[in-house]
Amino acid sequence: MNKIYRIIAGILFLLLSVIAITLIRIDPSTTTPSRSTEARTAGMMEGLMPGMILTQEFTAIKDYIWGVDLLFSHSGRNNTNENTLLLLDANYKSLLKTTFSSTIVKEGTLFPIRFDNSIFIGKGKRVYLCLFSNDGAQNNTISPIFNPSDSIGALYSSKVSGNDLAASIQNKVRKYHGSFMFRTYETDTSQFWLMKIFLYLLGMILSSLIIWFPWVRSTLVRIRIIPEWVFLFIAIPGAAVFTFITPPLQVPDEGNHFLRAYELSEFKFFSQEKTFPVSILMLDSAFQHLHFLAGQKTTMADITKHIGVKLEQEKKAPASPPTYTLPYLPQAMGVFIGRIIGSSPLALMYLGRLFNLLISVLIMFFAIRIIPQFKWIFLLLALMPKTLFLFGSLSYDSLTISLSFFTIAVFFYYAFSCERKINIKDLAVMALLALLLLFCKPPYFLLALLFFIIPPKKFGHLYKYIMIALGVVILGLAIWKGPAAISSFSSTDTTQQVGSADPAASAGNHSVIRPEDQIKLIKNDIPAYLKLIAKSGFDYYRSYILKSFVGVLGWIDVELPDLLTYSYLVLILLSALVLSGENVSLGMMKKLLLFLLLVGTFVIVETAMYVYATRPGRDRVFGVQGRYFIPMAPLFFMLFYNRYFNPLLNLLFSPRRKEYHKAKAKIKPVIYKEILEKEQFFDKSIYIFITCFCVFTLLYAIYVTLIRYYNI
């Protein structure tokens, strides 16, 4: 394509992009609610029955509303009735009418209802949100959950009189104290202009690439993109931003993590005395009102006023932190330094976060550096908002994730990159890494079985390999403690959240959690149990696990848009399919091993939460979060690795494609090798796209976190 044609094509693309972006309506789906009436204590209203209508009055915070979330209970039944939601303005004029089936409403989960378009109400104007059902019955209806302690407007039931719903609503039969447990999503504008501005800029960039394509292509061919340095330059500032914009102790169980880090900073590794400075406990209490309640906000003034609070180590109170040691050592180092210089509890927390960040990022940097082929898969997983959010916290998941990635990288290095024979020092390194994972979270010790991807010839003699392999198996069986390993997933994860935890446990009724009974249920019918956990993981909570894997931040109350979450997952999957190298070959047996490790991890995670976070008799597993699967995630995407697509795509997009096809048979292999090894135009284009996408996703995650916690 000559220059004039490229200019015309670039201008046409820009014009079409501007027209399309301008005409397409984009809802301001910033994912964070404008108001929230969620609470830790709840009541259940009467079921949605014919002849009755439930109404919640509230005042609009902003001009437009584009959706609500409501919480319902099925009362243990499989309800199938149809329900209707009405939205009326102050004059009882209908703004919206939508129906939904009880079959798609999940127990204990905020049910999202999104409108096709933003609806104008007017800031400060009264709104009526009404619920009713024409075919509900006593044993076939869902019941709204309400918050008895937080009233944002009148909540009442009315008797339906004929077809005049407006008149029926005013015929109040019963009033309730409190409000629906729900969220509203309101905005000041009818469209999300921030997203449109980004799309306009993207259109300009793409049109520029079309016009200057030859220059772009020649530049890409010359440059070298090093993934570990890309990771480092994005991860350090990105995780550091999360460190400081996330309010104190707003990561799941971060208060407990802080206590254990403080305990270790005093070198109390095995101390039976579990008392801690009251000032630390008060810091945790000061921000507990933000947990789960997405409508609650804070300010920088509320945070900075704790800078002057003294630690006062002599004033102590009892508490029960986790008992792990290794995954808290980075945080403890920061807290120790802070204690030496006389820092406040708030400063100690930030120092603990920073040391956790630096050590986790450094380990991940070397993991990406030494992994022979899957560097960009590692990078994408390491730059997920969830991963960087954890890196910038006091969570013990930070070291667990980075150490798991490093362990995978080391085994793959010995299997595919190491050209010498494996010696006793190498075996010691592998054993040490497996042992460290055991001390972080026992189930990830399964990664030691990656030993079997190493070819026997790397050990010199087959009998050596067999002896060492038997040693690995025997050592694993000797170290492995099933119940203890399983309980490790729930021993420190005391968090219970709507949509993930068993409602009985979230209500504080921990007596209903009976591990002994759950274990008996598993043993009595193992096939039925396996079916239960499969249905729970792949049906009931599939979307939540995927979303919390990529970008559910804060105290499980800051969510990225679904489009961004699933786009990120698709990008990782496509990268796994189209990026490959000649040095790595994963045959069916190696992939079978990876698959079995993934299945084993899934069963352990689900079993842990079934035994320790789900009350007996439930038909699903509660409490499973996507972050539990991040340490093993590289193995899943490695299953899609192949060496077929990448050479074809590099050849297809190569500037020397025509030269290759016209070349003689003897010259073709030389050109082909140069394209794959030196040019790599397709690969480098993907690398740049991945980098830009990761940066955009990270910036959006930071933006969502800011508007969740602060009034901006």
Two structure tokens written together for 509: 């009724």
CA distance 134 to 137: 9
476, 574: one domain? yes
Q: Whats the size of the chain, residue-wise? A: 712
Q: Which amino acid is it at 167?
A: A
DSSP string, 341-390: TT--HHHHHHHHHHHHHHHHHHHHHHHHHH-SS-HHHHHHHHTSHHHHHH
Would you say residue 25 lies in a domain?
no
Distance between CA 447 and CA 464 in Å, rounded?
Answer: 21
Residues β-bridged to residue 131: 54, 85
pLDDT at 651: 87
**Burial readout 246-281 (b: 16 or more C-beta within 10 A, e: otherwise):** bbbbbbbbbbbbbbbbbbbbeeeeeeeeeebbbbbb
- Residue in this structure with the two tokens 């270790």, named with its chain if needed: 264
Q: What total number of domains does the chain contain?
A: 2
Note whether 385 and 528 are same-domain residues.
Answer: yes
Can you tell me which residue has the tokens 């400060």? Answer: 124
Judgement on whether residues 162 and 262 belong to the same structural domain of the protein: no
The pLDDT value given to residue 282: 93
**Chain mean position to CA 158:** 41
Place of tokens 């309506």: 25
Say yes or no: 156 and 293 in one domain: no
> Would residue 54 count as lying in a domain?
yes
In this prediction, residue 489 carries a pLDDT of 62
Q: What is the pLDDT of residues 352-368, one digit of tens each?
A: 999 999 999 999 999 99
Taking the chain, what is the end-to-end CA distance rounded to the nearest angstrom?
Answer: 48
* 470 in the same domain as 348: yes
Q: Dmax over Cα atoms in the chain, in whole Å?
A: 90
Handedness of CA 426, 432, 436, 438 (dihedral sign): positive
Question: Rounded to whole angstroms, how far apart are CA atoms 256 and 320?
Answer: 8
Which residue ranges in the chain fall short of pLDDT 50?
Answer: 494-500, 504, 506-510
| Contact status, residue 575 vs residue 376, Cβ threshold 8 Å | yes
How confident is the model at residue 40, as a pLDDT? 65
310 near 344, Cβ under 8 Å? yes
The pLDDT assigned to 117 comes to 81
Chain centre distance of CA 646: 29
Helix (H, G, I), strand (E, B) or coil at 318: strand
Cα–Cα distance for residue pair 472/593, rounded to 1 Å: 15
Whether residue 167 sits in one domain with residue 285: no
Tokens of 29: 């789906």
d(CA 88, CA 510): 41
The first and second tokens of residue 554, run together, are: 């804060």
DSSP string over 601-627: HHHHHHHHHHHHSS-TT-SS-----GG
Is residue 400 within 8 A of residue 440, CB to CB? The reply is yes
Tell me what pLDDT residue 508 has: 45
Residue 708 in domain: no
Are 168 and 262 contained in the same domain? Answer: no
CB 651 within 8 A of CB 672: yes
Q: C-alpha angle 145/151/157, rounded to 5°?
A: 55
Residues 281 and 179 in one domain: no
pLDDT value, residue 686: 92
| 13 found inside a domain | no
Question: b/e string for 104-143 if b means 16 or more Cβ within 10 A?
Answer: ebbbbbbbebebeebbebeeeebbbbbbbbeebeeebbbb
Residues 508 and 389 in one domain: yes
Rounded (5°) CA angle 657-660-664: 160
Boundary of a domain, candidates 597, 624, 643: 643
**Is 672 part of a structural domain of the chain?**
no
Judge whether 78 lies within some domain. Answer: yes
Please give the C-alpha separations between residue 54 and each of 36, 44, 110, 138, 308, in angstroms, as whole numbers.
Answer: 19, 13, 18, 16, 49
CATH number, position 80? 2.60.120
CB burial of 513-524 (b: ≥16 within 10 Å; e: otherwise) equals bbbeebeebbee
Whether residue 292 is found in the same domain as residue 153? no
> Are 45 and 166 in a shared domain?
yes
What residues does 119 pair with on adjacent strands?
A: 65
The pLDDT, as a whole number, for residue 640 is: 94
Q: 550 and 423 in one domain?
A: yes
Q: Give the containing element (helix H, strand E) for 101.
A: strand 94-101
**pLDDT at residue 498, as a whole number:** 41
Q: 146, 169, 187 — which closes off a domain?
A: 187
Give the global pTM. 0.82
Residue 147's DSSP bridge partners are 179
Q: Which long-range contacts (CB under 8 A, 24 or more apart) does 674-678 make?
A: 675/650, 675/651, 676/582, 676/647, 676/650, 676/651, 678/221
Closest Cα partner for 221 from 690, 694, 693, 676?
A: 676
The whole-angstrom separation of Cα 300 and Cα 394 is 20
Q: Looking at the domain assignment, is residue 561 inside a domain?
A: yes
The three-point CA angle 322-328-330 to 5° equals: 165
Torsion of CA 215, 221, 226, 230, to 10 degrees: 20
Among the listed residues 418, 417, 416, 388, the one whose alpha carbon sits nearest the alpha carbon of residue 402: 388
Structural domain harbouring 304:
254-494+504-643
Q: Which residue has the tokens 């000041």?
A: 188
Residue 100, helix vs strand vs coil: strand
Tell me what pLDDT residue 482 has: 53
Determine, yes or no, domain membership for 72.
yes
**Which domain-ending residue is among 133, 156, 187?**
187
